[in-house]
Amino acid sequence: MAEPAHSAPAFEPLSLVGTTFDDRYELVAHLATGGMGAVFRARHVHLRKDVAVKVLRPDLTSSAEIVERFRREAEIASALEHDNIVRVTDFGRTPDGYLFLAMELLAGESLFDRLRREGSLAPEEAVPILWQVCAGLEAAHGLGVVHRDLKPENVFLARTPSGREVTKVLDFGIAKIADPSSESATQAGIVVGTPEYLSPEQAMGTAIDARADVYAVGLIAWRTLAGRHPFKADDARGLLMMQATRPVPPLTDPRPDLAAYPALVAAGAKACAKDPAARHQTAAALGDDLAAALGPAFMMPRGATPAPSISLSPIPLDRSGRDTGAAPAVPGATLEVAPPHALSPTVARALAIARARLALVRAARAARDRAGELASDAVGAVRGHPALAIIVAAACLVAGITLSVRAWQRGRAPAEVRALLAANRPQQARAVADAALADRPDDPELLLLRGRALHRIPGGIGEGIDAYALARKAGPLDTGAYDDLVAALGRERVLADRAAHLLLEEGPPALPAILRAAGAASGLHRLRALALARDLGAEDRVDRVQAYGELLGDADCDVRRAAARRLGEIGDPAALPRLRRAAQAKTETKGFLGTTKSAPACGAPEADAAARRIEASRPH
């Protein structure tokens, strides 16, 4: 009798917790399990940094095709540097044969999970998510990479340390390099991807380009807004036939209330066109259409920095009802209007535009009045020469008109940018600022406003920091710039370091914004603000025991350790109760056969060392 075939051992992700891959990545917690493997929270033992490690199921490593897909995901994703694409940093194989990817650790949930919980999303919530997906895809397409497997499961809604929600595109495992000579290009006739979100050309196995991803975003938009998928079939083959031949129904079929958003319905329909030539030709074009469809209602993701509030001063009028240009009759009297996100978008925009128009009128009037003074002086100087006086008066009139027009032109762009920012329309604000900077590239006011707009556009923080650096060369930064730069301290390391460099160069003027974050921010954001305050010699202006003590319980291991070490350096005995509690904290992990082992919690050794250091320095 033949020996029975031995099947591959079952994959038990929990059994890997506590092991170290490649002598670098210690798997500290199991996060999720999928069809191809599992994802773990891991710590880089040399860099002391938390990452995510994606492990391929061992029974799949015998498939050369799957191994190559895994390797390609690492190769492609590591080349895509964009705020809206997950960063992959490493790829390897352990001596036991486990294939793994190391990538940035994200906190949050997938769009799939959110939709499973909430059913559908309102347009004001859905569009910013979709806009960021388009921004990430545009970066990938710019490098010739087509994702080919976009779906809600591969759209992750990540929560940053500063509390801002950022959309990340995941899983470039079956991405296609748009290069006819590439050996990795999928052969014609082979269908790859998830049937629910395949483009018609993918469903038929024909050649594809970036417009296939545009179609997938259109279907994701349909699912996100409608609460269900537009097609329902008994099997994958039937679904592929629908993708290839059946038009996507209008969004207003499942959601008649979306008739109030005709441009949004039209943008979704265009993205889902069966003919690639009838779709948006780029992901950026689709993103622009989605944002424009909401108009002033287009909002940043929840947790983003809100647009500035509006403060209107009463305008003194003369008896004829004209603006006198004088100061308010009651010193300090102002009309404080709620922030635009607390008003309806239409009201917020109207108030901002009214403010901008008044500023333009006053600028033009000031130029006109100055021209009148010059004319009076010039005519007086040639009194007694009637012919010459007429010529001078005419010249001054022309000069006055020119001055008024130039003043109006100079004031128009900044006022328009401010109005758009107040209406929470940063993309349009940036476009206006860019157009004006083409004529006045060193204008400090326009550079500041451009930086402000970029900080409110998903994926634009890095360029916004560059704009503030240019503005600083042309003139001093303002409180809005300081607030944006301090907020960037809570973002990715490269952005935080660039923002910190600018803030250090500014020095004391930036301290109020830095100290606010040092006293009230959370996690890594707060830790970086405290470090910056220390570099500027102002750390003692914060309650350091309170600030660092609260960070001892942070979710980020690095933050806990750094806070404990700093409390030990400060040496204040008031920190001892918090340090002792943190030193006694334990964590439990499961091992083989369900056994449980207890170990000091992350940061506990550092807290214990800090407490001992303080106790040793106390007088006996």
**Mean pLDDT, contiguous 10-residue spans, the chain (620 residues):** 47 87 90 82 87 86 76 72 85 84 88 92 92 92 85 90 83 51 38 73 86 95 93 82 88 92 94 94 92 74 34 37 38 35 42 46 52 54 54 53 43 81 87 86 89 90 91 88 94 90 91 93 92 91 93 91 93 93 84 71 92 85
Burial of 92 (0-12, 13-18, 19+ CB in 10 A): middle
List of residues 6+ apart from 486 with CB closer than 8 A: 499, 503, 510, 513, 514, 516, 517, 529
Task: Pick the catalytic residue from 50, 90, 113, 149.
Answer: 149
CB-CB contact of 298 with 306 (8 Å): no
Give the pLDDT score at 385: 55
d(Cα 482, Cα 333) in Å, to the nearest integer?
A: 27
- Report the distance separating Cα 90 and Cα 536, nearest Å: 36
Long-range Cβ contact pairs of 152-155 (< 8 A, separation 24 or more)? 152/110, 152/111, 152/112, 152/115, 152/220, 152/223, 152/224, 153/110, 153/111, 153/112, 154/110, 155/110, 155/111, 155/112, 155/129, 155/220
CA–CA gap between residue 505 and residue 165 (Å, rounded): 29
Q: What is the 3-state secondary structure (H, E, C) of 231-298?
A: CCCCCHHHHHHHHHHCCCCCCCCCCHHHHHCHHHHHHHHHHCCCCHHHCCCCHHHHHHHHHHHHHHHC
Q: Taking all residues of the chain, what is their mean pLDDT, rounded to a whole number?
A: 78
Q: Which position has the token pair 């360029």?
A: 463
Helices (H), 441-556: 444-454, 461-474, 479-488, 493-506, 511-520, 523-535, 544-551
pLDDT reported for residue 409:
45
149 catalytic residue (yes or no):
yes
Q: Are 60 and 66 in contact (CB under 8 A)?
A: yes
pTM of the prediction?
Answer: 0.48
Cβ atoms 535, 507 nearer than 8 A: no
pLDDT at residue 192, as a whole number: 45
Q: Is residue 84 within 8 Å of residue 122, measured between CB atoms? A: no
Q: Which helix (H) or strand (E) holds 571?
A: none
- The first and second tokens of residue 229, run together, are 């998928």
Q: How many CA atoms lie within 13 A of 556 on its CB side?
A: 22
* Residue found under tokens 């990817």: 101
Q: Where are the alpha helices (DSSP H) in 5-154?
A: 64-79, 111-118, 123-142
- Residue 56 has a pLDDT of 84
At residue 117's C-alpha, the angle toward residues 112 and 118, to 5°, is: 100
- Tokens for 63? 């498939």
So what's the pLDDT on residue 580? 93
Residue 252 has which token pair? Answer: 């207003």
541, 515 in Cβ contact below 8 A? yes
